[in-house]
Structure 1
């Protein structure tokens, strides 16, 4: 049952968007765990692991495309690789169920207290841990399922893990209703209250428009990944993006991640100067994705910015949260990179705090591909910019190349992740991708413009920047960690008080 609930969990995320299923699946896991009084802790951990394995194996099954289509691995070996990754990621759900059950038994908690106060808190903490242990892999965190649900309103206050915590409380309320049907009215009222508060928070404007709207052109070259680094097609790709860039001026023109297939040191000598000259003559600004080469074995996944404000020195942003195996090589895994034929197996990054690029009276903060998963890092950048020494970004920009995953559910899942970043920060997010999803997301997390995936084209739009800070920008994940800790403390006190009352009743009985 736990494995099946985990597998069905994928339907709660984009492109399916059946978000109630996320709550119901978690409710089933909680119910099965709370009924396990005769189980060992290892058996309870297996329940959590089964749920987590099903959720991750089905949810990130698009990795099969990367391994088979683009890296020539046999299907059987790719399935083993996917199963091993899903097995590791499922450990966090296993730990959550094991620890929750252990605390219930240790503190002698009632089923209702355990379900409402212990399981949701530890679930939120386990997802947060999955987001940073070993550099983190927070894909498919529970909160992402709720970008279009009433719970989306909590994102600006508590972030994606806070939304996941609220959804876990709702799941726990459903489980309590099954365990103790007499309290169904109270649980129903709690669920309605949480949904209403979330819907109300979504209507509150944490940020306000600033400056004038800017015209934006987001380029989607739709270059096949099999051809992108093929030397016979390199000139074709360079010409393609050059022509797409100079086709029309705009306040901001953005290409996908590594749109140029050659490192900066290998580009034709006139290539970048000609693009810079175009931006100066047309009063445009350009953010160009490429790999910069700074010296022997020093390559960075970068975005270079050209425009009036950067006539003598190009703006530069280096991707700083690198992908294991794809952009840095964990110790002892060089053989794996060689087998997978990854063109840039090990990249470097600069330590400086990323700055925002000025575009007229707006400031655009880039992030590259995988970095959009880490809301805490983006909020921290905004928080540090708000110290008055640097311009605070009013628009976010994600530059990605998801062609590795074909036309799979990875594309809408990644777009949903960017929607969550807009909800958390109260700022629009632009997505410029190679094959999809190239889109414009407003400050409310709504996709207001998008071009079809697996097609070549340009998305033109007017975008309004936003100023101000949300509670999540101010406090990041500290808020949800504090609330989860408080919930556990209250559960402990509840068990402690209950044990004292039990002792008093026992003593009175003995005296009688």
Structure 2
């Protein structure tokens, strides 16, 4: 890594004198390399097995590459290039949704994907820029003489600033404009060395530890690389080796300790088994998306799922999202009677996806909802869960974007929201928390449901339809996300999908079984519910946010950049 920079003032060179020279600029290929590294980071996520190790190596390179930047602007551009490479290759399946199923012309769909990836890249750009300030790296026009002839020396506050800025950036991406936390760096660690931190601080906390370990490894290795590239001076080398070794040993040891902790923490048990195990059947109907809302397709789907539900009993039977694509009040009588009779005669509880709504006295249907309805044996009460976190453009139209939705042929574009915390569906004394579609990518909301529920759930259920995205990596990525929710909460997760991945995950994030995508089948498993709270369920994202903000504030107030500015002012006053 050529022409790195310094994080501390050089003795004998005044900051004002350095500031009078012209700042060094980075070549364009610097940003191209960052973009390629971001694209390579997509390979860290599912379906790559144990991709967390690859991600750690890429982050070590990324942070080392980031240290070549010459100020906050070049740092932000480097982070943005890395992010754009990651997102445009990691969420390309959105093009499939917009073009093949939404009917948007290919050039417009491609342009929309690029623009969306550029928007997502703003967050790693922001994180890199913040790191630059807090690491004392933003020198406000420091010179090439001051910057180019000295090696960058990563510092402790710089490593902590990178971890904190990265976590804040990812949290913002998962929150602003309803949030899109897909490809949060912690997800790749589900089978990686840092998965053990998930019950402590959630996916953003795992990303914080990942960034910190990467920065510490660079802090340990970079001085050695610079020394190896210097002209040989035996006398100087003999003096520098002990000091350099000491400086590199401690951050390297802490990085190894964090990796070891991540590998050992899964041995800790935050939750305990509760209630009897449940036998479960998860249904996968493989209903074609282009037929799902046509009259013939609706009739075929209802007949198919009636047969699948009633073919075999289980404690809990779950269908995919909107498996029955009609208003609940308009369910065909044969379907409703068959499901009710089957539940009562076999003791099976049934969750099926349909459309909720309210009918006014005038006969109008208002407040459509994307819902799950539950039938409990021996009870006339119908359980109902209404989706709370809606998908922009698919389930609600953001202000000012009606024109964009009109370019696509996606039905049911405006839904009403359910309440943030809704009651559990109780199956044989086991409370079950349900969510729909991509609600399970928001770990804080699931943790809140468990934390604030009168009957905290011991099992999680996700009902979804990913047919919009074809047979792409979106299916594997979503399964990986669901596994993170199990790690965070210490609870099993059940997934019933239309086309895949239908799967059962235990409380430790391990896949108990899954169905082949794009097949009509059912998955029969037995799951053990749990009770108790992980630290993440107790505090949500508050822990990682509080730590990150505190460290960033400390970096802004007391970082070397502040020290240099004060020293420069003192020298100016002296002269």
Aligned residue among 5, 8, 14 for 2:46: 14
Contact 2:515–2:521 (Cα < 8 Å) also in 1: yes
Please tell me whether Structure 1 or Structure 2 has the larger radius of gyration of its CA atoms. Answer: 2
What is the CA-CA distance between 1:493 and the residue it aligns to?
6.5
For 1:256 and 1:399, how far apart are their aligned partners in 2?
Answer: 5
Give the direction of change, closer, same or farther, for the CA distance of 1:106–1:33 in structure 2 (3 Å limit).
closer
For 1:107 and 1:99, how far apart are their aligned partners in 2?
Answer: 9
For 2:132 and 2:48, how far apart are their aligned partners in 1?
Answer: 32
Tell me what 1:361 maps to: 429
Q: Does 1:35 align with 2:68?
A: yes
What SS does structure 2 have at the residue aligned with 1:308?
Answer: coil
Aligned residue among 412, 417, 436 for 1:344: 412
Give the direction of change, closer, same or farther, for the CA distance of 1:113–1:4 in structure 2 (3 Å limit).
same
For 1:404 and 1:257, how far apart are their aligned partners in 2?
Answer: 12
Tell me what 1:395 maps to: 459
Tell me what 1:172 maps to: 215
Tell me what 2:166 maps to: 123
Tell me what 1:86 maps to: 117
What is the CA-CA distance between 1:497 and the residue it aligns to?
12
Tell me what 1:156 maps to: 199
What SS does structure 1 have at the residue aligned with 2:135?
Answer: helix
Aligned residue among 121, 135, 154 for 1:104: 135
For 1:270 and 1:293, how far apart are their aligned partners in 2?
Answer: 21
Contact 1:34–1:115 (Cα < 8 Å) also in 2: no
Q: Does 1:453 align with 2:514?
A: no
What is the CA-CA distance between 1:21 and the residue it aligns to?
2.6
For 1:467 and 1:90, how far apart are their aligned partners in 2?
Answer: 39
Contact 1:356–1:391 (Cα < 8 Å) also in 2: yes
What is the CA-CA distance between 1:201 and the residue it aligns to?
1.3
Aligned residue among 72, 78, 83 for 1:47: 78
What is the CA-CA distance between 1:489 and the residue it aligns to?
4.5
* 1:73-129 per-position Cα deviation (integer Å, ceiling 9, x unaligned): 232222111001101111111111112212334898963235411111100001001
Aligned residue among 71, 96, 109 for 2:102: 71
Tell me what 1:305 maps to: 374
Contact 1:68–1:75 (Cα < 8 Å) also in 2: yes
TM-score (norm 1): 0.93
Contact 2:39–2:82 (Cα < 8 Å) also in 1: yes
What is the CA-CA distance between 1:269 and the residue it aligns to?
3.5
Q: Does 1:428 align with 2:487?
A: no
Give the direction of change, closer, same or farther, for the CA distance of 1:187–1:208 in structure 2 (3 Å limit).
same
Structure 1: segments with no counterpart, 5+ residues: none
* 1:40-62 per-position Cα deviation (integer Å, ceiling 9, x unaligned): x3332211111111111000011
What is the CA-CA distance between 1:391 and the residue it aligns to?
1.2
Q: Does 1:113 align with 2:156?
A: yes
Give the direction of change, closer, same or farther, for the CA distance of 1:178–1:344 in structure 2 (3 Å limit).
same
* 1:340-381 per-position Cα deviation (integer Å, ceiling 9, x unaligned): 111110001233621111110211100101100000000011
Give the direction of change, closer, same or farther, for the CA distance of 1:28–1:314 in structure 2 (3 Å limit).
same
For 2:47 and 2:481, how far apart are their aligned partners in 1?
Answer: 12
For 2:124 and 2:301, how far apart are their aligned partners in 1?
Answer: 43
* 1:134-159 per-position Cα deviation (integer Å, ceiling 9, x unaligned): 00000000000000112111000000
5 Å-filtered alignment, 1:252-267, equals 252-267=316-331
For 1:148 and 1:65, how far apart are their aligned partners in 2?
Answer: 28
What is the CA-CA distance between 1:63 and the residue it aligns to?
1.1
Contact 2:187–2:481 (Cα < 8 Å) also in 1: yes
Bigger drift between 258-267 and 399-408 goes to 258-267
Aligned residue among 114, 118, 126 for 1:95: 126
Bigger drift between 67-76 and 364-373 goes to 67-76
5 Å-filtered alignment, 1:478-489, equals 478-489=542-553
For 1:497 and 1:132, how far apart are their aligned partners in 2?
Answer: 30
Give the direction of change, closer, same or farther, for the CA distance of 1:359–1:49 in structure 2 (3 Å limit).
same
* 1:3-50 per-position Cα deviation (integer Å, ceiling 9, x unaligned): 01110111100001322232233333322332223x4x3332211111
Q: Does 1:235 align with 2:304?
A: no
What is the CA-CA distance between 1:133 and the residue it aligns to?
0.4
For 1:401 and 1:352, how far apart are their aligned partners in 2?
Answer: 21
Aligned residue among 286, 292, 317 for 2:356: 292
What SS does structure 1 have at the residue aligned with 2:83?
Answer: helix
Tell me what 2:229 maps to: none
What is the CA-CA distance between 1:179 and the residue it aligns to?
2.8
For 2:68 and 2:216, how far apart are their aligned partners in 1?
Answer: 15
Tell me what 2:397 maps to: 329
Give the direction of change, closer, same or farther, for the CA distance of 1:107–1:117 in structure 2 (3 Å limit).
farther
Structure 2: segments with no counterpart, 5+ residues: 1-32, 140-151, 225-243, 360-364
For 1:3 and 1:106, how far apart are their aligned partners in 2?
Answer: 21
What SS does structure 1 have at the residue aligned with 2:333?
Answer: coil
Question: RMSD over aligned Cα, in angstroms?
Answer: 2.3
Contact 2:462–2:493 (Cα < 8 Å) also in 1: yes
For 1:147 and 1:474, how far apart are their aligned partners in 2?
Answer: 21
Bigger drift between 415-424 and 334-343 goes to 334-343
Tell me what 1:281 maps to: 345
For 2:347 and 2:320, how far apart are their aligned partners in 1?
Answer: 21
* 1:455-511 per-position Cα deviation (integer Å, ceiling 9, x unaligned): 1101001110000000001000001112212333454565379949x97xx99xx9x
Tell me what 2:234 maps to: none
For 2:560 and 2:248, how far apart are their aligned partners in 1?
Answer: 26
For 2:467 and 2:112, how far apart are their aligned partners in 1?
Answer: 20
For 1:383 and 1:119, how far apart are their aligned partners in 2?
Answer: 31
